[in-house]
Amino acid sequence: MHTNDGGHVATAVAALSARSYELAGDEYSRAAWRVLAEPRDSQSPFAADERGYVGVAVQYLVTSAICYRIAGHDSRATHRGVEGVAVARDLQHALSQPVQQACLDELVADCRVAGGLDGVAAAYETAADAYRAASDSIESPQAVATTPLFEAAATPIKQLARSLADGEIAIKWEDLHGSDPAAAGDFLAHRPRYKHQRFQGLLQGAIDEGFLAAPRGTTEYATDHHRCPGCGSTDVNWFADSVLCLRCSRSTEPV
């Protein structure tokens, strides 16, 4: 899911490992703005794109708001949430497929949660209704759900869930999606319904813990070459330029 983030995501992840959540929020914001300027080389953010790469920018705005909430800067999180709502709605002019517009509605609701805005329940219901209305236009909901736009909408809640699950995958594909892909609208409408049930609680849990895990990258368990200086784990998570402890997301060191 490569986009032109200008290296700011790597810096944000390094900040997460250092528990510098305001800095991480700043860097995720900068990553969002870079992606909005040019999602991929020579790609306009205002052009139709069946993969929806520009939607990754909204993911970064959501994650930025989460970081600010954990850092105790609620007003900054609110600003980022409001920004994300505006961006997601504007992107509906370019990403004009009905199912993409439904996903952007889902991201609007995520921005409301992350930013501490009101109207969360109504926003998720709007997204669920939009998925059901788009049902007849969706040939393969499984394929749609693996595009960058849809992965961008799934990543923040997965990252929050990992933060409260010792770094393990805590939200799986089958949790987010319905049981019958033949009913495409209901299959995808399960996403906003599930998020309405879980997102706010997971965010509050991360705020209470004062911890947001780094995104999950390439992992290796019980290594003989790295040990976390913080918790002693030998389980490793490689993400961007960082070699991190899978458990506590601190920088881990070779032994």
Q: Are residues 164 and 42 in the same domain?
A: yes
Q: Are residues 111 and 156 in the same domain?
A: yes
- Whether 198 shows a pLDDT value over 70: the answer reads yes
Contacts of 109 (CB under 8 A, 6+ apart): 120, 123, 124, 126, 127, 192, 195, 196
Q: Are residues 94 and 202 in the same domain?
A: yes
Q: Are residues 248 and 209 in the same domain?
A: no
Quick: pLDDT tens for 7-57. 999 999 999 999 999 999 999 999 999 999 999 999 999 999 999 999 999
Q: Are residues 142 and 223 in the same domain?
A: no
* Mean pLDDT, all residues of the chain: 97
Q: Are residues 202 and 227 in the same domain?
A: no
Exposure string of 16-34, with b = 16+ CB inside 10 Å and e = fewer, is: bbebbbebbbbbbbbbbbb
Q: Are residues 133 and 255 in the same domain?
A: no
DSSP letter string over 162-195? HHTTTTS--S-HHHHS-S-TTSHHHHHHHHHHHH
Has residue 51 been placed in a domain? yes
Has residue 2 been placed in a domain? no
**91: its two tokens:** 């992107």
**246: its two tokens:** 């899978």
* Enclosing domain of residue 232: 217-255
SS3 state at 204:
helix
- Whether 229 shows a pLDDT value over 80: the answer reads yes
Has residue 1 been placed in a domain? no
Q: Are residues 164 and 176 in the same domain?
A: yes
Cβ–Cβ contacts within 10 Å for residue 218, how many? 8
Q: Are residues 171 and 230 in the same domain?
A: no
With a threshold of 0.75, does the pTM exceed it?
A: yes
Question: Packing angle between helix 56-71 and helix 98-115, nearest 10 degrees?
Answer: 10
In the chain, the largest separation of any two C-alpha atoms, in whole Å, equals 56
What is residue 52's predicted lDDT score, i.e. its pLDDT? 98
Mean pLDDT of all residues in 187-196 = 98
Question: What is the number of structural domains in the chain?
Answer: 2
Q: Are residues 138 and 230 in the same domain?
A: no
Nearest residue to 173 via CA among 200, 145, 152, 203: 145
